[in-house]
Amino acid sequence: MKSLLSWKLKGGALQAVASALLLTMFLTTPVQAELSQTEPSADLLQKRQMLELMAYRSTTEFSLIALNQGTGGAVERLASVIRQGDALAAELGAEWPELQEQWQLSRQFLQEKQQAAINGDEAGLATEVKLRQEALYHVLEENRPADSGFSGEEQTIVLLLDNLERVVAAYVSFNMSLFGVHTDPDNGIAQYVKSFDETLAQLKDQELKRSVSGKWEFVRGALLAYNERSAVYIVDRTGRSIRDLLSAGISSDQLASE
């Protein structure tokens, strides 16, 4: 009888311990999960934004290589963009592995197709570039963090850079596609121009605003007339000049111009 009673007491104690453990797990697991899903640092968010700029710049420079048969410095600029993009993607891989993978696929594709772009001997190359780069853009748009890591005036400048890279890439790749018998009327150029106009109006640095506005007005008309005439040289040179002006207003060391 004593042995049976002892067994019951021990069994009850064990059950109580087990219940307590289950309760502890239930209460702490959500907290632990929440702690493990910490927000990326501001530095990492900034680098993600910089990689997005590099993605569009890589499209621009590759399209210029095709249009100019490898002359005009685009080969060197693309190599620089790829180096910067590789460094950024390597740092972002732990947080956004699919983004790193898509960047690597784009980089590999552009490098492999560079000679074909220079020679102009591959039919349908413009379409291939469009599809490859759109896969990269899609991953950048997916699960985009609400915060870019920048704030205040820097955030405004980054938005201007983002619209600039998008519109120049769309314009230059559109002109490349004309030679590949592939055109895309819904290329977003008009919307990017509108967004740039609206963001530029918010810029508080009046000296920077005047400098950028002067160059932007010079190239804005050419961008909007993309379907009527080609002004790739003007758009490229003026776009790079605007990029330099805006980049000088960002403290991030990831914004090397060339």
Tell me which residue of 106, 94, 103, 101 sits closest to 51, measured CA to CA: 103
**Alpha carbon distance 177, 179 (integer Å):** 5
pLDDT category, 19, cuts 50, 70, 90?
Answer: low
Residue 170 CA, distance from chain mean position: 14
Model confidence over 85-109: pLDDT tens digits?
Answer: 999 999 999 999 999 999 999 999 9
Q: Which of 58, 149, 48 is nearest to 100 (CA)?
A: 48
Check residue 258 and give its pLDDT. 52
- Read out DSSP for 200-235? HTT---HHHHHHHHHHHHHHHHHHHTTTT---HHHH
Q: So where are the chain's domains?
A: 42-247
Rounded to a whole number, what is the distance in angstroms from the first to the last CA of the chain? 88
- pLDDT per residue over 125-171, tens digit each? 999 999 999 999 999 999 899 999 999 999 999 999 999 999 999 99
Say what the pLDDT of residue 98 is: 98
Q: At what angle do helices 232-247 and 206-224 cross, to 10 degrees?
A: 160
Report percent pLDDT > 70 for the chain.
Answer: 80
Give the residue carrying structure tokens 């005439």.
Answer: 229
Using CA atoms, how far residue 121 sits from 48, 68, 78, 131, 250, in Å, is: 35, 14, 20, 19, 41
The reported pTM is 0.83
Distance between CA atoms of 51 and 89, rounded to whole angstroms? 7
Q: 21-63, pLDDT tens digit by residue?
A: 444 444 444 444 443 468 899 999 999 999 999 999 999 999 9
Q: Provide the residue count of the chain.
A: 258
Which backbone phi and psi does 230 adopt, to 5 degrees? -105, 130
